[in-house]
Amino acid sequence: MKENINLNKFIKDLNLKKIFKELYPICRSITGKGFEQSLNILNSVSKLNKKKVRSGTKVLDWIIPEEWNIEDAYVKENGKKIINFKKHNLHIVNYSKKIDKIVSYNELIKHLHYLPKIPNAIPYVHSYYEKYWGFCLKYSQFKKINKKGKFKVKIDSSFKKGNLIYSDNLIPGKSKDEILIYTYLCHPQMANHELSGPLAWLTLYEIIKNTK
């Protein structure tokens, strides 16, 4: 394979559709179980160098935040879930704090995010450093919420001193110059914005590694 490579067969053998299906439903952030689970899936295809940076470490102009994990999140009205993290993990504001309470409509809407100009899209919102809770939903969904209702809001999340994990691989060549190909994996359930990058990186890495 070092001399010649059948590109179409090579890409097919990588089985990117299978990898995509495994990665797509995972709730990821810049830290936490979801990110590490996703990295492990990529690692099963191409062996990666995992490196960890502890929460609180200053890196250039930012500080690694605490590790965030989430088990469940929803908004209920009359016992029915009208926003449900388990249906789509973009519904939660990334890094939302734990909450379990009944709120009014006026209180709820302070914590809702939507896109009036794209009424059938769920926005991606995060709050890495400010302790906040919130939900994201389609604008078309928001317009149906009962303004006189009472709402059960629950977010089962946790913070802890943990690690940001990243990975790199080096393919030595004849030149001392270095070409950097990089991508990120931290955004949840967004195929074009997120998974296109890691899968393109994986493909390029395997092609370059297996050719002159």
pLDDT score of 212 more than 90 = no
pLDDT band for position 1 (cuts 50, 70, 90)? very low
Cα separation of 77 and 50, whole Å? 44
Q: Where do we find the tokens 């939660």?
A: 92
Mean pLDDT calculated for residue range 58-74 = 96
Q: Return the CA Rg of the chain.
A: 21
Mean pLDDT calculated for residue range 183-208 = 89
Retrieve residue 61's tokens. 């102009």
Exposure of 20 by Cβ count < 10 A (0-12 exposed, 13-18 middle, 19+ buried)?
Answer: middle
| Per-residue model confidence (pLDDT) at position 6 | 75
Cα separation of 111 and 185, whole Å? 26
Of residues 199, 210, 192, the one with CA closest to residue 42: 199
**Alpha-carbon distances, residue 205 vs 143, 149, 151, 171 (angstroms):** 46, 53, 49, 8
| Per-residue model confidence (pLDDT) at position 23 | 95
In the chain, what percentage of residues exceed pLDDT 90? Answer: 76
3-state secondary structure (DSSP) of residue 168 = strand
- pLDDT tens for each residue of 71-91: 999 999 999 999 999 999 999
User: First-to-last CA distance in the chain?
Assistant: 9
pLDDT score of 5 more than 70 = no
Mean pLDDT calculated for residue range 144-160 = 97
Q: For the whole model, what pTM was predicted? A: 0.89
pLDDT score of 193 more than 90 = no
Q: Spell 103-135 as b/e; 16+ CB within 10 A means b.
A: beeeebeebbbbeeeeeeebebbbebeeeebbb
Among 45-49, 55-59, 60-64, 99-103, which is the least confidently predicted range? 45-49
Mean pLDDT calculated for residue range 40-68 = 93
In the chain, what percentage of residues exceed pLDDT 70? Answer: 98
Are the C-beta atoms of residues 133 and 95 closer than 8 Å to each other? no
pLDDT score of 25 more than 60 = yes
139 vs 4: which has the higher pLDDT = 139
